[in-house]
Amino acid sequence: MHPNAAFRWEDRDAMRALVAELGFGALFCATPDGPRVAHVPIVWLDETTLGLHLARGNGIVRHLDGATALFVAQGPDGYVSPDWYGLDDNQVPTWNYVAVELEGTMRRMEHDALVAQVDQLTAHQEERLDKTPWTRGKMDPALFGKMTSAIVGFRLEIAAWRGTLKLGQNKSEAARLSAADGVEASGRRGIAHWMRNA
């Protein structure tokens, strides 16, 4: 994460909300085969525990139980041209972004806990959609059992939270808002919104 204290984000409730909103991220782990990453959907199991699952055939699976891992959720981001600040010419280009790193210990789930996690993840995602929610009740139970036997569930028990809000807080409000207009005009509405509300 960016070392500038101006960009440090320590609001755990807000970080938790962003991670829940995104629902997806990258899980990194050191293995005897070298560093590995898996891209995984997640759901909060409680305030300090993420639930996730991976394909049983994913090579990282055999190294996760008991390992220290790092989950990264990346929010909106975008390039910032120095011209957008409306300041003198002694500015440099940068990239603004919102990100959360969650570090902790991985614990493998029993099958029943995996099924509960899949149900919770699905319910959380389905409630966002404008339709009758999908449930596993729409599947043949034997087929659902076969599908869940092909995945492995884990908990990430979080020990360290690191967040970054790099939104131009080191600039004047007028310069930050001017840059937000430029960022939005370039097609990056998400990060422009965050910059305006920094």
Give φ, ψ of 88 to 5 degrees: -70, 180
* E strand spans, 16-121: 24-31, 34-46, 49-55, 68-80, 94-108
Per-residue CA distances from 154 to 31, 73, 130, 140 (Å): 17, 17, 30, 25
Confidence at 4, pLDDT banded by 50, 70, 90: confident
Domain limits, the chain: 5-196
**Whether the predicted pLDDT of 1 surpasses 90:** no
CATH tag, 5-196: 2.30.110.10
Q: What is the pLDDT of residue 77?
A: 97
Neighbours of 143 (CB within 10 A): 10
pTM as predicted: 0.94
- pLDDT tens-digit map of 61-92: 999 999 999 999 999 999 999 999 998 878 99
* Mean residue pLDDT across the chain: 96
Q: What is the pLDDT of residue 56?
A: 97
- pLDDT tens-digit map of 113-158: 999 999 999 999 999 999 999 999 999 999 999 999 999 999 999 9
The mean per-residue pLDDT over the stretch 155-165 comes to 97
Q: Is the dihedral of CA 169, 175, 178, 179 positive or negative?
A: negative
Question: Which among 90, 94, 88, 75 has a CA at the least distance from the CA of 182?
Answer: 94
